[in-house]
Amino acid sequence: MDDAALVDRYLEHVRVEKRLAARTVELYSLDLHKLTDNAVAAGVALQQVQNTHIRRWVAQMHGAGRSGRGIALILSGWRGFYVWLGRQGLVDSNPVVDVRAPKAPKPLPKALAVDDSVQLADFSDETGDPWLDARDAAIVELLYGCGLRVGELVGLDVLASTAARGWVDLQAQEAHVLGKGGKRRSVPVGSKAAQALGQWLAVRNQQAKADQPALFIGRNSTRLTAQSIWQRLKRRSLLAGLSTPVHPHMLRHSFASHMLQSSGDLRAVQELLGHANITTTQVYTRLDFQHLAKAYDAAHPRAQRKGK
């Protein structure tokens, strides 16, 4: 049986017996035609393809600019094809079995510029509801000023108690939160965040029921959800004139990046963020390097490359 017939039989198998979606079958077809073209160029039949062939073709795809994720999907299709050939007794081994796609570079966390962060923190929605504006301002200040996760923020109560997941001690200017893995930590609350919280607490009871412990509530006196905070923050960032919608974790990233730019103290940033492993915090050194590289490009007389 020639290569084209083998591919057709396999595609019929995944379409009829495995009942894969038409789009999936179409993608398998494209991947297997790529495999066939590679085999023809190498002068081998599909049943004669070896592990070294697969590795060479992966290197060629990677060199041509295909992403690690794209290569991984192609390899998955090829791997399934050779599994099927093995079950048919048509190959002795699967040449794709131990081949992995190149690792994709880990994307950097998105952080705001310092000016944008300050613009958002200083924004006041003078045309909106003062009660909501006071609450949302305090939310922004805690997320950016303390580097809290949104789950830590929604878990805050007004007062400390044995049942509280977290609370803010305004007198000591500290936030006590329950982080990932049930680990508690305390973080300092800056003067701006403390001021915003004081203004929020002054109006919170206008809507809060007596038995509601949550620090941040909605108009119905129920604890705000993470989804609600995402929506409110997106709205507030657009009203403040920022070019991109802001989400809670972006403010946490901004807190970490700006702290590292100012202090250079990676261990302190690790503790403030509540990271168990410093390697998690080290990603912000890459953001810090980007900041330095931009400053260099803008200011150093030797920064400009030829041809610019």
Catalytic site residues? Answer: 149, 180, 249, 252, 275, 284
C-beta of residue 139 within 8 angstroms of C-beta of residue 148: no
Helix segments in 163-225, DSSP class H: 191-204
Separation between Cα atoms, residue 148 and residue 153, nearest integer Å: 6
Q: Residue 33: which residues within 8 A CB-CB, separation 6 or more?
A: 7
Separation between Cα atoms, residue 303 and residue 307, nearest integer Å: 12
C-beta of residue 172 within 8 angstroms of C-beta of residue 187: no
Buried b or exposed e, range 218-231, using 16+ CB within 10 angstroms: eeeeebbeeeebbe
Separation between Cα atoms, residue 284 and residue 199, nearest integer Å: 32
Three-state DSSP state, 97: coil
